[in-house]
């Protein structure tokens, strides 16, 4: 039985193996939860969508589902909200996992729609993430991300003292995160930042500028600590 279940998981993660200390009761409970998540995923057929192995936690919500696209085995945790109110929609690759209580939202305004959010294959993002897409957000393949990631591809203008800040509009450059990055918990990434492939970002960092591939980044604001090269 355990071997069969392991083979099922390997459809999503080919290198997966159960820990030898895993007890049977925990294993059965885990698969019961995953089975319920798969059953919930079936209901997306009401949005005229193919499920492709979609797994949904409790109270997952979709807004503007016609612009939400996903690959095989997308997993969304409890109370995740996905809003594709924007110009070019949300695109999830294969084997993407988004942790509970996360928000993936292109726009919150009807008068200035945002661009898009693209998340590559084999990306895992922890709980309580906020992924904005106003200026465009791209996360490359094979990235692993801790809890509370916050991405904000938009800035408010504030230059004119005689005009309310909320009336001065916004600027948008977008955020791009390369492939095979490890991003620690409670990282904030601001508009205009590009992170190269293979970077590591320390927990709690606030990233305000771009870094080349294989950089190890940390601090508030972030700076280059060293290179993996």
Which of 38, 44, 71, 32 minimizes the C-alpha distance to 56? 38
Does residue 26 fall inside a structural domain? Answer: no
87 found inside a domain: yes
Please state the domain count of the chain: 1
pTM: 0.88
Q: pLDDT digits over 183-216, tens only?
A: 999 999 999 999 999 999 999 999 999 999 999 9
pLDDT in tens, 108-147: 888 889 999 999 999 999 999 999 999 999 999 999 999 9
Strand 222-227 and strand 215-219: pairing? antiparallel
Report yes or no on 29 lying in a domain: no
Cα separation of 222 and 57, whole Å? 34
Check which CATH number belongs to the domain holding 76 and give it: 2.160.10.10
Does the pLDDT value for residue 9 go beyond 90? no
Q: Is the pLDDT of residue 44 over 80?
A: yes
Task: Tell me the residue range of the domain where 74 lies.
Answer: 51-227
Give CA angle at 135 (71, 169), nearest 5°. 150
């Amino acid at each position: 039985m355990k071997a069969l279940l392991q083979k099922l998981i390997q459809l999503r993660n080919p290198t997966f193996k159960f820990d030898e200390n895993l007890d049977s009761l925990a294993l059965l409970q885990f698969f019961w939860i995953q089975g319920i998540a798969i059953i919930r995923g079936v209901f997306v057929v009401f949005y005229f969508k193919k499920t492709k192995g979609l797994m949904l936690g409790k109270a997952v919500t979709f807004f503007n589902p016609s612009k939400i696209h996903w690959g095989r085995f997308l997993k969304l945790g409890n109370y995740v909200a996905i809003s594709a109110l924007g110009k070019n929609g949300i695109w999830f690759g294969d084997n993407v996992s988004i942790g509970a209580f996360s928000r993936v939202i292109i726009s919150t305004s009807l008068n200035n729609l945002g661009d898009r959010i693209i998340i590559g294959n084999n990306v895992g993002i922890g709980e309580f993430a906020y992924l904005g897409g106003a200026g465009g957000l791209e996360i490359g393949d094979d990235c692993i991300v801790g809890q509370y990631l916050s991405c904000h591809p938009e800035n408010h203008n504030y230059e004119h003292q005689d005009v309310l800040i909320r009336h001065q509009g916004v600027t948008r450059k977008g955020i791009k995160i390369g492939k095979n990055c490890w991003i620690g918990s409670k990282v904030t990434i601001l508009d205009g930042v590009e992170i190269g492939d293979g970077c590591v970002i320390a927990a709690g960092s606030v990233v305000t500028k771009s870094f080349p591939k294989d950089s190890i980044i940390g601090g508030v604001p972030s700076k280059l600590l060293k290179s993996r090269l």
